[in-house]
Amino acid sequence: MINCMKLTLPSFSSNESSSRAMVSAFAAQLNPTFDELSDIKCAVSEAVTNSIVHAYRDMIGQIVITVRLYDDRSIRVEIKDRGCGIPDVEAAMQPLFTTDPDGERSGMGFTVIENFMDSLTVRSTPGKGTRVVMNKKLSPLPVKR
């Protein structure tokens, strides 16, 4: 590991954009391409939004974001909450699955993350919270001539 950052933020909706900006600024140390940085920002946005909207529902809790940068140009982002948890992670990871009774959510959060990152692991315990771990290997730096 070459660097690590840990953020703890309250689950205010305004912190979704803040978390995305802070993670992308930190990841910039690895000199990712514009597309790679956009992918990371989108994945972080989805994971944090899940914590804000689903984990804490009608209350405010803490979201902990840990970012690790590695020598091999890979990045690991972990987003944890101590919210309501997910009773059936396998079902929740299916496209279009949502627990939103009003139908305002598309149920595509985990699918979006899987499409933008190289790997995604979700661990959750009902009543105790959820841990989302995303990894992405960045492309090699261009060779200078």
Catalytic sites, residue numbers:
46, 50, 105
**DSSP helix/strand/coil, 86:** coil
Q: Which of 141, 131, 133 is nearest to 117 (CA)?
A: 133
Are the C-beta atoms of residues 100 and 94 closer than 8 Å to each other? no
Q: How far apart are CA 135 and CA 145, in angstroms?
A: 31
Q: Which helix (H) or strand (E) holds 7?
A: strand 3-10
